[in-house]
Structure 1
């Protein structure tokens, strides 16, 4: 059941609880810094960290081209809320990435494969995976070209819906 399935009063309670858990994770890590989108944008030369295209400050949310801050290692996975762990992105690129992080090394792929091996329904699939292939597919999935294409589709839909 998602929060969208709940009545309005319970949905706000669920959202508050979710926000509280996120704040507790951030506090327990101990690494929290104050920063602004303008500060991170200036540091990153107003270039999206995912699609590598310029980010225009004139666009405002919910436009997919609007500036957004992306946590390189998401907080849910133990990332910190610090300048070193954030980058500027388009909102659409950030939304497309969600909590998915590209595999950078064979060791990371082996770790992910080990998790899959522990799940009975996925064991046969995990046994067929090669770490090198996992890294290659992950890098292709997170390529700037793919983010550009996804952003273009989001912008087209956004404009077609006349928002």
Structure 2
């Protein structure tokens, strides 16, 4: 009833898990995993930049695409990175910023490269002047 005492009748249709068909295919699963990697990487770097009080571009990119682009070769020590290794293994794959965020670098496809986690930690905020 409303404020004028008029009565209304209505029907609500609720969609539950039983009524919604599952759209799982290998391509759908792969797309979902890629979007999770992209969102996780962008969100992580955006949060880090906010903590540092920095304003810079945070491009949504897929770390796996960067690893493939770099041929699974660490761009710091120039040795192979094993795909099977996962964090917190010190030889796992990580994104390294050529020009560090703290030095004014941005989280963009042109400024990231594949590196071993240990190489990335060792490099820290250092970057060659010729960049």
> TM-score, normalised on structure 2?
0.59
- Asked whether the equivalents of residues 49 and 101 of structure 2 are also in contact (C-alpha less than 8 Å), the reply is no
Structure 1 runs, 4 residues or longer, greater than 6 Å off = none
Shift of 1:55: 0.8
1:46-65 C-alpha deviation (Å, 9 max, x unpaired): 11000001111100111111
Once residues 67 and 109 of structure 2 are traced to their aligned partners in structure 1, the CA distance between those partners, rounded to angstroms, is 11
* 1:73 and 2:108 correspond: no
- Asked whether the equivalents of residues 63 and 95 of structure 2 are also in contact (C-alpha less than 8 Å), the reply is yes
Shift of 1:18: 6.8
Q: 1:95 to 1:39 in 2, by over 3 A?
A: same
1:20 aligned residue: 50
Unpaired stretches in structure 1, ≥5 consecutive residues? 1-16, 106-163
1:89 aligned residue: 115
Once residues 67 and 103 of structure 2 are traced to their aligned partners in structure 1, the CA distance between those partners, rounded to angstroms, is 24
Shift of 1:19: 6.1
2:88 aligned residue: 62
Once residues 56 and 44 of structure 1 are traced to their aligned partners in structure 2, the CA distance between those partners, rounded to angstroms, is 13
Structure showing greater radius of gyration is: 2
Once residues 106 and 68 of structure 2 are traced to their aligned partners in structure 1, the CA distance between those partners, rounded to angstroms, is 20
1:114 aligned residue: none
Unpaired stretches in structure 2, ≥5 consecutive residues? 1-46
